[in-house]
Amino acid sequence: MVNYIWAAMAVIGIVYAMFNGTMEEVNEALFESADDAVMLSIGLISVLVFWLGLMKVAEEAGLLTMLAKLFKPLVTRLFPDIPKDHPAMGYILSNFTANLFGLGNAATPMGIKAMEQMKQLSQTDEASRSMITFLAINTSSLTLIPATVIAIRMKYDSAAPTEIVGTTIIATLISSAAAIIIDRLFYYRRVRKQKK
């Protein structure tokens, strides 16, 4: 599916530009974004090295297993196909915690590690059930403190920069709950299809 979406975005853009005379803009956007992507990847090196380094120490020290044990009842229900004390649980939880506290740049490396562990469990290049659940919760953005937004509001002299924290938390809770429910519905649909 991502293949079609990816190709469609570019094809639609180019065809649209043919009829609307925006080919110059397309050319410009093309190389500018390629540049941006390289800068972004290089910028990611610092966070990836730092957090993966620290997480390696945390893992060896047994902290991730401890974290997994602490939240066992909740997470085993969300991810029933991951063995209870598996390191994947620890990474999933660290990713959620980082998201909750708005440490967006710490969440990505942990999310990737969690994915890696889940792939080891499934051993295929197809997204497993737990991977889809994990992504659904991530895309609905578990946030307690939207730090970037607060910073922008402060910059534009808001009378109460943090007043949107409450609404953000409620909206996040609703969208995360919805994500989990939708994910389950799709899962049961997949199971039904396989049986046929």
Residue 80 touching another protein (CB under 8 A)? no
Binding mask 40-69 for another protein (x = CB under 8 A): xxx-xx-xxxxxxxxxxxx-xxxx------
- Residue 46 contacts residue 64 (beta carbons within 8 Å): no
Closest separation in Å from C-beta 87 to another protein: 13
Q: Which range in 70-78, 83-91, 147-155 contacts another protein by CB under 8 A?
A: 147-155
Residues 79 and 180: their CA atoms lie apart, in Å, by 11
Q: What residues contact 87, with CB distance under 8 A and at least 6 apart?
A: 59, 64, 65, 68, 117
CB of 108 to another protein, least distance (A): 6
Nearest to 111 by CA among 88, 92, 84, 128: 92
CB of 28 to another protein, least distance (A): 7
Binding flag, residue 101, another protein (CB under 8 A): yes
The single residue among 65, 71, 121, 161 that binds another protein, judged by CB under 8 A, is 161
Burial of 38 (0-12, 13-18, 19+ CB in 10 A): exposed
Residue 141 touching another protein (CB under 8 A): yes
